[in-house]
Amino acid sequence: MIMFGTFEKKIFGIEWQKILSYRFEFWLNFFGEMALCIIIPYFLWDTIYVSKNITVYHGLALPDIVSYSFCAFYCFKIVMGGGKEGSISQEIYYGTLSRYLVYPMNYLFMKYIQYMATSLFHLSKFVLLLVLAKWWWHLPIDPTVEQLGLFVLILFLAANFVFLIFTINECMAFWADNVWSLQVIFRTTLQILGGLYSPLLFFPEKFQNILAWSPISHCVYTPVMILLGKQGYPLFSIFASLMISISILFFLLKAVWKRGLIKFEAAGM
Amino acid sequence: MIEIKQVSKHYKTYRKDPGFMGSLKSLWARNFITKTALKDIDLKISSGERIGLLGANGAGKTTLIKILAGIMPADEGTVSVMGYTPYEREASYLKQLAIVMGQKAQLWWDLPALDSFELLAAIYEQDRSLWMPRLDELSQKLNVAHLLKIPVRKLSLGERMKMELIGAFLHQPAIIFLDEPTLGLDLQAQKSVRQFILDYHEQYRPTIILTSHYMKDIEALCPRLVMIEQGKIIYDGSSDKISEANSQEKKLQITFKNPEEGQDFVIKMRNQFSLENADKSESSGSSPLVKHWNVPKKRLTEVMTFIMQETSMEDFNLSDMELSELIEQVWFTKKN
């Protein structure tokens, strides 16, 4: 639970300032990404639809699938905290974690605030770009207020889930030094089974039923389908799988962190 | 205030044979070894003391600081700082602590130092009405008030170190660990940093534990020295002996035009002044053209006159002794 006191506000503010520090990078990212994540999916899916001679595939027309790709790209960024994975394991590996351990604060809570600040920044950016994309490319995205609320709530839970699982992965650096492969495996799993590249609708039905109970599928696919107003998984399976996973991972992270700190040698300090 | 009893710390690491086969072998079987960083250390430090922690690289001084700061636990023995066990990392203990590392930045690289200070004030739960005047005071003393709004990455090394000091001292810590605070700074910046630390200590009386390889830092800041070698304390006492040793000898380096002349001159110096060549071995990477002697200051004039008359040297250099050499000398004298 985020209790917004001075410390949290400062961390939040600093994260946003860091994103805004590099002007060229910011604007390139802002408009470049938007163009790429609409133009590339458009030509890719257009080729597929034309070659198959279809206008609708699994209930999605070409504008729908382009909208899906656009939204999925940003949802992935939001739940990934803007791609913050690797920072904790690097701090353990290089010993810079010691810098934070001498402060009277909870390091993991600070990382959580940083993560959520970046996620919120990308969510704000997404909302702005969504308005732009609707106006410029006429993407068929017209969510109701309820759908928007549900979309934000699921994204928030998914971001918590991804933060916890990535942080546990990163804590493995206390024992294994380099955990990059572990991160890549999870990131790739999240990209494919989360529905970043294509909607999970295109997967075999049996597989979809299994994925309904996996929190991974609710990281990208579920919120995007809700935003597009399409039928997704039942709400009960979405919330149950996310809440149960978050609870288990929370306690697991606490245990791993406590044990890991005993192993920490602050190399290079 | 700080009491360390029979503290030991061991690190587990592994040994890998060189080359591809060594890497392949280490994928399956690793040869783990245990390295002792600290062995049965006993140390007492009173409140408000200024202590220099000295020792060669790998001697164990940083491990001791890590244990005192609560970054890692001791494997054996007890550590008590102001009644706290550091590794428990109680917030009330950490609020009284500060660490400045010359080699590592504590401030946020992309942001102006002022942003970092505001965050630090929030971390230490400092009231704005208290820390703002303190920030003014510290930044005026270090002459960096005009740089507070410049991104840290745009500052020079000396300016950054001054900002690091402000960041560390802003919450008025009771214990300050300074790890090479003047590393890489020019002489002027070194001097102002030293003076600032002294003034701060005079005003607020924190306990300061310093590690440095600069003799000037030790002389200026530490009335008491603790020397660590291979995880054991080999000297704990006044820094006067080090200063005394430093004031007795100078290090003379002569570069000869050819190695033969250098060898001849080593013999001449031995015969004339009973001074032995201070190069430990020719194979240590030093050039055969370069020779060193430790010359007593009182004989410096006659030695220099002799050199001018007897050699056609390429170059010469006269400098203070290295801190490690002084430690060696004091340690050697104590042993015998």
Q: CB atoms < 10 A from the CB of B320, how many?
A: 14
Print the domain residue range for B226.
Answer: 46-230
Average pLDDT of the residues in B258-287: 75
Using a 10 angstrom Cβ sphere, with 0-12 exposed, 13-18 middle and 19 or more buried, the burial of residue B186 is exposed
d(CA B251, CA B304) in angstroms, rounded, equals 12
- The confidence score (pLDDT) of residue A1 equals 38
Same domain, B261 and B216: no
Distance between B95 CA and the closest CA of chain A, angstroms: 6
- The confidence score (pLDDT) of residue B334 equals 60
Question: Hey, where are the domains in chain A?
Answer: 6-263
Average pLDDT of the residues in B209-226: 86
- The confidence score (pLDDT) of residue B332 equals 62
Asked if the Cβ–Cβ distance from B72 to A266 is below 8 Å, we say yes
In sequence order, the 6+-apart residues with CB closer than 8 A to the CB of A244 are none
Same domain, B178 and B290: no
Residues of B in contact with A23 (CB under 8 A): none
Nearest Cα neighbor of B319 from B237, B251, B249 is: B251
Q: pLDDT tens, A24-53?
A: 888 888 888 888 888 888 899 999 999 988
Q: Is the pLDDT of residue B295 over 90?
A: no
Among chain B residues, the shortest Cα distance to A8 is held by B122
- The confidence score (pLDDT) of residue B104 equals 73
Same domain, B188 and B304: no
Chain A interface test: which of B119, B124, B153 (most A C-beta within 10 Å)? B119
Tally of domains in chain B = 2
B189 close contact with A: CB closer than 8 A:
no
| CATH code for position B284 | 3.30.70.250
Confidence of residue B128 (pLDDT cuts 50, 70, 90): confident
Torsion of CA B165, B168, B171, B175, to 10 degrees: -110
Enumerate residues 4 to 33 of chain B having a beta carbon within 8 A of any beta carbon in chain A: 11
Average pLDDT of the residues in A54-71: 89
Q: Is the pLDDT of residue A104 over 60?
A: yes
Give the tokens for residue B134.
């303190």
Same domain, B81 and B185: yes
In sequence order, the 6+-apart residues with CB closer than 8 A to the CB of B26 are B14, B16, B17
A7 close contact with B: CB closer than 8 A:
yes
Asked if the Cβ–Cβ distance from B123 to A264 is below 8 Å, we say no
Q: Residue A153 in 3-state DSSP? A: helix
Asked if the Cβ–Cβ distance from B122 to A18 is below 8 Å, we say no
Confidence of residue B67 (pLDDT cuts 50, 70, 90): very high
Evaluate whether residue B102 is within a structural domain: yes
Residues of B in contact with A106 (CB under 8 A): none
Same domain, B270 and B147: no
- The confidence score (pLDDT) of residue B333 equals 64
Domain end call among B204, B230, B256 = B230
A101 close contact with B: CB closer than 8 A:
yes
Residues of B in contact with A17 (CB under 8 A): 110-111, 115
Evaluate whether residue B238 is within a structural domain: no
Q: pLDDT tens, A211-267?
A: 888 999 999 999 999 999 887 788 888 999 999 999 999 999 999 999 999 888 877
Asked if the Cβ–Cβ distance from A18 to B97 is below 8 Å, we say no
Evaluate whether residue B297 is within a structural domain: yes
Among chain A residues, the shortest Cα distance to B180 is held by A269
Domain end call among B230, B255, B285 = B230
Same domain, B183 and B318: no
Q: H-helix or E-strand containing B49?
A: none
Confidence of residue A166 (pLDDT cuts 50, 70, 90): very high
Give the mean pLDDT of chain B. 85
Rounded to the nearest 5°, which phi and psi values hold at B82?
55, 35
Q: Is residue B318 a contact partner of residue B289, using CB atoms and an 8 Å limit?
A: no
Mean pLDDT is highest, among A91-95, A189-193, B189-193, B309-313, for A189-193
Average pLDDT of the residues in B302-316: 83
Residues of A in contact with B104 (CB under 8 A): 96, 99, 269
Chain B interface test: which of A3, A4, A6 (most B C-beta within 10 Å)? A6
A10 close contact with B: CB closer than 8 A:
yes
Structure-model confidence comparison of residues B130 and B245, the more confident one: B130
Average pLDDT of the residues in A49-61: 88
Structure-model confidence comparison of residues A266 and B68, the more confident one: B68
| CATH code for position B187 | 3.40.50.300
Q: pLDDT tens, B6-62?
A: 999 998 877 888 888 888 887 788 788 888 899 999 999 999 999 998 887 888 888
Domain end call among B230, B254, B273 = B230
Residues of A in contact with B14 (CB under 8 A): none
Q: Is the pLDDT of residue B283 over 50?
A: no
Same domain, B126 and B204: yes
Q: Is residue B8 a contact partner of residue B67, using CB atoms and an 8 Å limit?
A: no
Q: Is the pLDDT of residue B203 over 50?
A: yes
Token pair 């002794």 in the structure block, residue: B321
Q: Is the pLDDT of residue A70 over 50?
A: yes
pLDDT > 70: percent of chain B: 92
Residues of B in contact with A103 (CB under 8 A): 94, 123-124
Same domain, B221 and B294: no
Same domain, B294 and B193: no
Q: pLDDT tens, B10-20?
A: 988 778 888 88
Q: How many CB pairs under 8 A join A and B?
A: 69
Structure-model confidence comparison of residues A161 and B191, the more confident one: A161
Q: Is the pLDDT of residue B284 over 50?
A: no
- The confidence score (pLDDT) of residue A121 equals 93
Evaluate whether residue B34 is within a structural domain: no
Same domain, B226 and B259: no
Q: Is residue B214 a contact partner of residue B323, using CB atoms and an 8 Å limit?
A: yes
Give the mean pLDDT of chain A. 88
Q: Is the pLDDT of residue A2 over 60?
A: no
Confidence of residue A5 (pLDDT cuts 50, 70, 90): low
In our burial notation (b when 16+ CB lie closer than 10 A, e otherwise), range B163-181 reads bbbbbbbbbbbbbbbbbbb
- The confidence score (pLDDT) of residue A225 equals 93
**What ipTM was reported for this prediction?**
0.77
Enumerate residues 93 to 112 of chain B having a beta carbon within 8 A of any beta carbon in chain A: 94-95, 97-99, 101, 104, 106, 108, 110-111
Same domain, B265 and B316: yes
pLDDT > 90: percent of chain B: 33
Helix axes B157-169 and B113-123, enclosed angle (nearest 10): 20
In chain B, beta strands by DSSP E: 2-15, 31-45, 50-54, 76-81, 97-101, 175-179, 207-211, 224-229, 232-238, 249-255, 290-296, 315-319
Evaluate whether residue B24 is within a structural domain: no
Q: Is the pLDDT of residue A3 over 60?
A: no
Average pLDDT of the residues in A95-106: 90
Average pLDDT of the residues in A149-161: 95
Nearest Cα neighbor of B213 from B102, B59, B324, B325 is: B324
- Whole-angstrom CA distances from A105 to A11, A77, B108, B204, B289 are 12, 27, 17, 25, 57
Among chain A residues, the shortest Cα distance to B94 is held by A104
Asked if the Cβ–Cβ distance from B66 to A7 is below 8 Å, we say no
| Residues forming a β-bridge with B45 | B2
Among chain B residues, the shortest Cα distance to A263 is held by B72
Same domain, B53 and B101: yes
d(CA A36, CA B327) in angstroms, rounded, equals 64
